[in-house]
Structure 1
Amino acid sequence: MHHLDRSLIAEAPSFEGLDAAALDDILGHAQPFRIPKGDVAFRQGEPAEKFFLLLHGRLKVNRLNAHGQQMVVRFVNPDDMFGVAMAIQSPTYPGTATAAVDSLALVWPNSAWVGMISRYPALAVNTMRALGARLQDSQQRILDLSTQKVEQRIAGAVLQLAQQAGRKSSEGTRIDFPLSRQDLAEMTASTLHTVSRTLSAWEAFGLVDCGRQSLVVRDSAGLQAIANGIEAE
């Protein structure tokens, strides 16, 4: 029988306020789950039979809309719970979660969920708080799509990723997982051509450094000005 150390989940927001005995009990229902880069944890429309907590790595969640267009809904960061379709009473996963880098998660069967939240109401409260924050993010994205220019949306997305997954270096803040221009296009309802043209212009201004699937923010204040609707000069 596997024995997982409670320190793996002690800092995760989903388990905030739970004592050591509760964490050990919750871990008793979990299994480690490795997700190599490019593999999927689950696909949109599949029966939602499990839920997850990301320990290491990064996942990208895509969703196909009614017109068959693919959008990046969000990136899953370490300590995020994901795939919690049962918490929104969905029998299937609403998106596809793909590992952007080699990743490690914990996985629980959905059958464990009711018992866990009945024994530990704080888990339900924490989960609903996280889902509420995601809903607010989604509503803000819808507002941005209807009110902002595409350059503002791209700048806002880059800044958000730098905040969530940025590592400071002598060059600036490097987003620490492979990020393609197509990813940014799908995040911002833009096109690959527009994202490429915009990043090239920003690189010329010294705002960012771009690689094939890498991005370094050199001037966050300059990007923030663009996100706020102030044109770069």
Structure 2
Amino acid sequence: MKIDRTVLRRFSMFERMPDGDLDALIAQAVPKRADAGEAFFEQGAPATHFYLLINGRLKVTQVTQDGQQIIVRVVHPGDLFGFARALRRNDYPGTALTMTESLAMSWPTEAWPQFIDRSPHLAVSALNTIGQRLEEAHTRIREMSTEEVERRVAHTVLRLSQQAGKPAENGVRIDFPITRQDIAEMTGTTLHTVSRILSAWESKGLVVGGRQKLLVRDVKGLQALADASNR
């Protein structure tokens, strides 16, 4: 399977890279396709490759010392993932599990320095990606430490609608399969609690749920819940 450079040009980090440098990166890459529910890598495994998601969606999970599984981030098309070398790690800190059929390009971990040396803009984009992930992680830690569960769930659903929302007839549709268990693992709570919250929101017309589906019907109303303590 050959990936054309026009595919990568869709993503901002490759927009300014000269054709020759981009072709050289593509030549080193190995495309990898995975069905829904497959893992690109697992927590604790040696970090042999890093990846760029071309299409599909992934969730990166971690199992805590007490055995609880949490979702630390969702990977969207155009995102780099698995670049443990940039974090000065030799192993993967989490498991990258597909939420839909997904296609990624992979490079050997040893190619990371060459990968960012190809373009200063690419290096800056990679650093920005790391910074954004750290900021989001800090935000989630603050939310879990200081906010009630309903506000945490509201913030999480709003983030998903911003990152992967598609306009629909009656609101904003989350553009990948998302379960109530997924939301529980993103917010550090239980499936029962998330189910109770979403059911209450449905009765108020804020969201519409379904099997692995979520439609946000009232973004402003959900934002008001998320910002409740600020008023």
Question: Structure 2-normalised TM-score?
Answer: 0.95
Matched, 1:107 2:84: no
Range 198-207 or range 5-14, more displaced: 5-14
SS in 2 for 1:34: strand
SS in 1 for 2:159: helix
1:13-67 Cα deviation digits (max 9, x unpaired): 3334312221111111111110110100000000000011111110011011121
SS in 2 for 1:28: helix
Whole-angstrom distance in 1 between the partners of 2:118 and 2:108? 16
SS in 1 for 2:28: coil
Whole-angstrom distance in 2 between the partners of 1:101 and 1:3? 21
Instruction: Indicate if the aligned counterparts of 1:31 and 1:108 stay in contact, CA closer than 8 A.
Output: yes
Matched with 2:10 is 11
Range 10-19 or range 65-74, more displaced: 10-19
1:123-169 Cα deviation digits (max 9, x unpaired): 32221110011001101111111111111110110111111111111
The Cα RMSD (Å) is: 1.5
Instruction: Indicate if the aligned counterparts of 1:40 and 1:96 stay in contact, CA closer than 8 A.
Output: yes
SS in 2 for 1:167: strand
Matched with 2:215 is 216
Matched with 2:46 is 47
Matched, 1:183 2:182: yes
Which aligned pairs between 1:53-68 and structure 2 lie closer than 5 A? Answer: 53-68=52-67
Whole-angstrom distance in 2 between the partners of 1:211 and 1:23? 42
Structure 1 position 11, deviation (Å): 2.8
Whole-angstrom distance in 1 between the partners of 2:179 and 2:2? 38
1:39-98 Cα deviation digits (max 9, x unpaired): 000000000000111111100110111211110111100010111111111000000011
Instruction: Indicate if the aligned counterparts of 1:10 and 1:23 stay in contact, CA closer than 8 A.
Output: no
Whole-angstrom distance in 2 between the partners of 1:210 and 1:119? 45
Question: Aligned letter for 1:143?
Answer: R
Whole-angstrom distance in 2 between the partners of 1:136 and 1:201? 30
Which aligned pairs between 1:3-152 and structure 2 lie closer than 5 A? Answer: 3-152=2-151
Structure 1 position 3, deviation (Å): 4.6
Instruction: Indicate if the aligned counterparts of 1:37 and 1:102 stay in contact, CA closer than 8 A.
Output: yes
Whole-angstrom distance in 1 between the partners of 2:34 and 2:2? 20
Q: Unaligned 5+ residue runs, structure 1?
A: none
Whole-angstrom distance in 2 between the partners of 1:89 and 1:50? 14
Whole-angstrom distance in 2 between the partners of 1:29 and 1:211? 42
Identity %: 48
Question: Aligned letter for 2:224?
Answer: A
Structure 1 position 230, deviation (Å): 6.2
Which aligned pairs between 1:163-202 and structure 2 lie closer than 5 A? Answer: 163-202=162-201
Structure 1 position 12, deviation (Å): 2.1
Whole-angstrom distance in 2 between the partners of 1:96 and 1:227? 29
Whole-angstrom distance in 1 between the partners of 2:81 and 2:13? 10
Question: Aligned letter for 1:18?
Answer: M
| Structure-2 change in CA distance of 1:188 and 1:3 (3 Å) | closer
| Structure-2 change in CA distance of 1:16 and 1:126 (3 Å) | farther
Whole-angstrom distance in 2 between the partners of 1:109 and 1:203? 46
Alignment length (residue pairs):
230
SS in 1 for 2:182: helix
Structure 1 position 119, deviation (Å): 3.8
Q: Unaligned 5+ residue runs, structure 2?
A: none
SS in 2 for 1:151: helix
